[in-house]
Chains A and B, each alone.
Chain A
Amino acid sequence: MSSSPAQQLPPGWAAEWHESRASAIPIHWSVLSRLAANSNSEAPNHAETASGHTQWEPPSQLPESQPPSTAQPTAQSHHGKRRQYAAGQTQAYYGAAEVAADPGYGVAPGLQPQPAGGQLFTPGLASENQFQAQQAQVPGQPSYYSQQPPDQPLAYGADPAATAGGYGSQPGQQPQYIQPGVDALAGQFGQMGLAGGQKQFQLYTSNLLTSPPEPKELHRPPPEIRLPPNSSISPSPLANADPSYQRCTINAIPTTSSLLNKAKIPLALILTPYRSLKDGDEPVPVVTDTVIARCRRCRTYINPYVQFIDGGNRWRCCMCNMSNEVPQLFDWDTARNQPGDRWSRAELNHSVVEFVAPTEYMVRPPQPAVYVFLIDVSHAAVQSGMVATATRTILENLDRIPDEDQRTKVAIICYDTSLYFFSVPPGSDSSMLVVSDIDDVFLPKPTDLLVNLAESRPTLEALLGRINDMFQENNIIGSAMGPALQAGFKLMSPIGGKIVVLSASLPSVGAGALKNREDPKILGTAKESGLLQAASPFYKTFAIDCSRAQVSVDMFLFSQSYQDVASLACLPHYTSGQTYYYPAFNAARPEDALKFAREFGDVLAMPVMLEAVMRVRASRGLRMSSFHGNFFVRSTDLLAMPAVPQDQSYAIEIQIEEALTTPFVVFQTAVLHTTCYGERRIRVVTLALPTTTNLSEVFASADQIAITTLLANKAVERSLTHKLEDARDFVYQRLVDILMAYKTSMTSGGAGASAQLAISDNMKMLPVLVLGLLKNVGIRQSAQIPPDIRAYAQALLTSLPSQLLIPYIYPTFYSLHNMPAEAGTVGEHGIILPPALPLTSERFERHGLFLIEDGQTIFLWVGRDAVPQLITDVFDLPGYDVLRGGKITLPTLENEFSQRINAIVQKIREMRRGVYYPHLYVVKEDGEPPLRLWALSALIQDRADVLPSYQQFISSLKEKVNTT
């Protein structure tokens, strides 16, 4: 799962494994995947790639008993290993007795029914001698696992040290070791490749009453996926999807729905198929030869979990068991025009691949990327400086708009209560065309409104530079956003693309006009959820029209007053766009202008997937039952997404329809899309998970992060269909259900009252995450939250990927004045952050400087007794009294402390995926109350108003669990 397998080497490896070889593997890996990624056209797969394949074998396949000196891996032995891999397959065919002697290759009976006496099919395994040498070698391999030294290193995923020592559960209760794995061999080395070692799943119980939440727990990887051996035909550690692409709430799927119901854990997939690549991420390999092997029956794409049968001429689908023919060109290297090595094909080694799609996958030739900017130029918009900032940002980012093949088209329409079109003919001056008839929108000119970016570049630049001046004196109040949308839609509907709306006022005239329905009296009452629904049907029907025409809408909202974000956010919601909200935007504040320009620039530069449809397939017996996220559900399992932005997350609930009989199941997400460079592609993400009949394994494999992400989506949905109150109750009840299920089935207490509140160790952050969710602005119980803020928070809750969502629910809290010496300096993995503190104001010190951040906002909390030196060092001010609270740009000063704090803020702004650039607020301990309260509301473990503290929350949970 991790991109650096070396980290996963259990400590035991280093001693018995040759150092140089062990370290060589990850290097080789990155080189290899880069090769594979670049191989689309110019760089063919070299022979090195093929031989590199030999090194993918898990180290456990090296005879361990060999003394290190002789185990020196030479080129010769590489070669041998390669054969060995193939031989493993071959032996399976022969069904020879030796097979049993080799635990590494041991084909699980019933798992891979291979025809006996099949022929060798692996290209390269030509020589009979070599094969026999292999055969001879295999029995020589000692049965490694039985020879574990008594002081065996602890398995990577189990991490019992942290549980046993750290959180002081009751000694009698833990570590509560439920079952030592299904089979000593079965769990040996799942698909983790190098994870090696002995993998017996262990369930540790934590007592929530005595173990306070520990923020660093949130950074632990999800419970390990323990696939049965040989379920993947590739030993690559990338054969299973990284959790940032696709993760499941339970990493061991219960075989029956009754078992799932017993555990009460919701079963769902959390996916971010179009995840951005940060530095150090593996690029997604691309299969360029348009040989796309798919199952005839269920249309699954070939992946590392299929089996080759019939001498490699056919493959058996991992989902429906259908036997399919291997395409003829599968073993042919089209780049070099000679036989290729099928085992080096990316789709058999990577869980995330992209296929270049042939014409059968196209309804029409790949469309160019189209951007239509709708800019509000009413009085409020111009005065706030939005128009100036937006046009300047577009101007500065024209180079970053994806336009590799010079086909990208751009149009600009301004609107107040009329529409202002701009004709931008290439090579001559632009002209403005005013349309005041907003009841029946028409395009004033058939051409030159939507122009090629590259051709009209100079004219466009001149126009963007002028727009703000043109409307500088505009005194018109009101907004014809609906008609502007219709105009933009008319302009681009033959092609599709992206409409970017920048609006600073409530739409007031024409189609889609909205009324100010904000009413402080109904906030906090049952009627409040009405304010979170679309007020006008226009925004839904128009969204449907957009989805049909492959048009996606992004909303940038800036209003000082009520803008009905709830209604406007509908458009991005159903057209796979995104809403961005800058309440009370004022470009006169450099922080506001900077934040908007950064985020808007990144959105413009983002390479979007156009004309996309997404479908998730799963093994027989599993069904995708409901879908959450920004898209339009076009049929029972097909999600239409006109333009997929990067780092948007979706949640899909799964139903177990019939009992699962296979040892593992596969979930495959396929996104058919057009890149913004005019290429039709299919991105395929494959995730394989083991099945289990064991309730304790279900609990031990629950992924608290994924569960929280799902609950956030469900809660928002419920708050719209029911009431906010119902949404909170629902989330709370789900948590209680899980705790009760755990208590009755996993602890000795059974159904009776118990002095502790038990949960498995891997879910012990779930209660605090649920508490954070209940206290999130999106669904918090309060009569003070403006509906706009609430609607925006809900839009974030349903679209943020887990990496951003978890801090948004459970913010991070650092103490800066006494941080360790290395914090804020550059370490091995970039800037070192201080240790995170639990989110409670008990940690505040009156002389301290603290930082709280939730991925959207950063608060610098300054204690009232902060020494003048600290204020001088950080803010360049003489003392606490002159410091003012509010948005701030932190000065970089000539002292180490200031530089370290700047580095930390910088790191926080950049470390996560997504375009968000958090504001930095200075909060004084005795400063203005609204800001203080806002910052304090991030400390979710405290009691605030009617919202319980963590302790109260836990005891109410305990009461609930014990009484029912």
Chain B
Amino acid sequence: MGGAGWLFLFAVLMAAGLLFCMVFFIIMFSDLECDYINPIDLCNKLNQFVLPENLAHAFLAVLFLTSGQWTAFLLNLPLVLWNADKIRKKSHMYDATEIFRTLGGHKKETFFKLGFYLLSFFYYLYRCAPSPFSTLVASSTWMIVALIAESE
């Protein structure tokens, strides 16, 4: 397994982490809708994760860029730009006073990101050189997918 293989193995793990992050967001949003959590706590909790999530994704993109993985970089570029734009407009944080009005949009965005990370997860997995290790990863992947399906 060469350098690219290790890179994509790392990307697989990152994507899995981001995936979990998004699942957590979605669970929190549905908690809010069911009134299990109040908007202030929700925003305090989620806002801790927003910047780390954006940074992790940007870091991954930078890794692809520096290692010359152009396809993977271009795939990630739009999302990086979009996140950067939100930070620039200072609208990346969840606002407890407006959360109920904007909840639909937030959910849509989170679902989109979830789908994106899921697809990129499989893409990175595929790009890992076929090795016994990747079969191990693949089998654990299906476990993760099953878990997600269950949690939703």
Q: Which A residues fall within an 8 A CB radius of B?
A: 540, 543-544, 548, 574, 626-627, 632-636, 638, 717
Q: How far is the CB of A714 from chain B (nearest CB, A)?
A: 11
Query: Across the interface, do A635 and B35 meet the contact criterion of CB distance under 8 Å?
Result: yes
Give the one of B39, B40, B97 with max A CB within 10 A. Answer: B97
Return 23 A-B CB contacts under 8 Å, by A number: A540-B95, A540-B96, A540-B97, A543-B97, A544-B40, A544-B96, A544-B97, A574-B97, A626-B100, A632-B97, A633-B39, A633-B97, A633-B99, A633-B100, A634-B38, A634-B39, A635-B32, A635-B38, A635-B39, A636-B32, A636-B33, A636-B35, A636-B100
A-facing mask of B17-56, CB < 8 A → 1, else 0? 0000000000000001101001110000000000000000
With contacts A544-B96, A574-B97, A633-B97 known, what are 7 further pairs, Cβ within 8 A?
A540-B97, A544-B97, A635-B35, A635-B38, A636-B32, A636-B33, A636-B35
Which A residues are CB-close (under 8 A) to B101?
A: 626, 717
Which B residues are CB-close (under 8 A) to A574?
A: 97
* Tally of B interface residues using CB under 8 Å: 12
Q: How far is the CB of A866 from chain B (nearest CB, A)?
A: 52
Which B residues are CB-close (under 8 A) to A543?
A: 97
- Closest partner residue, chain B, to A627 (CB atom): B100
Which A residues are CB-close (under 8 A) to B97?
A: 540, 543-544, 574, 632-633
- Closest partner residue, chain A, to B100 (CB atom): A633
Nearest 8 A/B pairs, CB to CB: A635-B35, A633-B100, A574-B97, A544-B96, A540-B97, A544-B40, A634-B38, A636-B33
- Closest partner residue, chain A, to B93 (CB atom): A537
Q: How far is the CB of B85 from chain A (nearest CB, A)?
A: 16
Which A residues are CB-close (under 8 A) to B39?
A: 633-635
> Which B78-107 residues sit within 8 Å CB-CB of chain A?
95-97, 99-101
Which A residues are CB-close (under 8 A) to B40?
A: 544, 548
* Tally of A-B Cβ pairs under 8 angstroms: 29
- Closest partner residue, chain B, to A720 (CB atom): B98
Which A residues are CB-close (under 8 A) to B38?
A: 634-635
- Closest partner residue, chain A, to B33 (CB atom): A636
- Closest partner residue, chain A, to B103 (CB atom): A636
Which A residues are CB-close (under 8 A) to B95?
A: 540
Give CA–CA (A626, B96) in the complex, Å.
15
Which A residues are CB-close (under 8 A) to B100?
A: 626-627, 633, 636
- Closest partner residue, chain B, to A543 (CB atom): B97
Which B residues are CB-close (under 8 A) to A627?
A: 100
Q: How far is the CB of B94 from chain A (nearest CB, A)?
A: 12
Q: How far is the CB of A639 from chain B (nearest CB, A)?
A: 10
Which A residues are CB-close (under 8 A) to B96?
A: 540, 544
Give CA–CA (A627, B97) in the complex, Å.
12
Give CA–CA (A540, B38) in the complex, Å.
16
Give CA–CA (A548, B43) in the complex, Å.
14
- Closest partner residue, chain A, to B43 (CB atom): A544
- Closest partner residue, chain A, to B90 (CB atom): A537
Give CA–CA (A544, B98) in the complex, Å.
11
- Closest partner residue, chain B, to A547 (CB atom): B40
Which B residues are CB-close (under 8 A) to A540?
A: 95-97
Q: How far is the CB of A380 from chain B (nearest CB, A)?
A: 30
Give CA–CA (A635, B100) in the complex, Å.
8
Q: How far is the CB of A6 from chain B (nearest CB, A)?
A: 45
Which A residues are CB-close (under 8 A) to B32?
A: 635-636
Which B residues are CB-close (under 8 A) to A626?
A: 100-101
Give CA–CA (A540, B93) in the complex, Å.
13
Q: How far is the CB of A179 from chain B (nearest CB, A)?
A: 38
Which B residues are CB-close (under 8 A) to A632?
A: 97
Q: How far is the CB of B103 from chain A (nearest CB, A)?
A: 9
- Closest partner residue, chain A, to B96 (CB atom): A544
Q: How far is the CB of B18 from chain A (nearest CB, A)?
A: 26
Give CA–CA (A451, B56) in the complex, Å.
53
Q: How far is the CB of A547 from chain B (nearest CB, A)?
A: 8
Which B residues are CB-close (under 8 A) to A636?
A: 32-33, 35, 100
Q: How far is the CB of B38 from chain A (nearest CB, A)?
A: 6
Give CA–CA (A632, B97) in the complex, Å.
6
Which B residues are CB-close (under 8 A) to A548?
A: 40
- Closest partner residue, chain B, to A635 (CB atom): B35
Give CA–CA (A574, B101) in the complex, Å.
14
Give CA–CA (A540, B40) in the complex, Å.
11
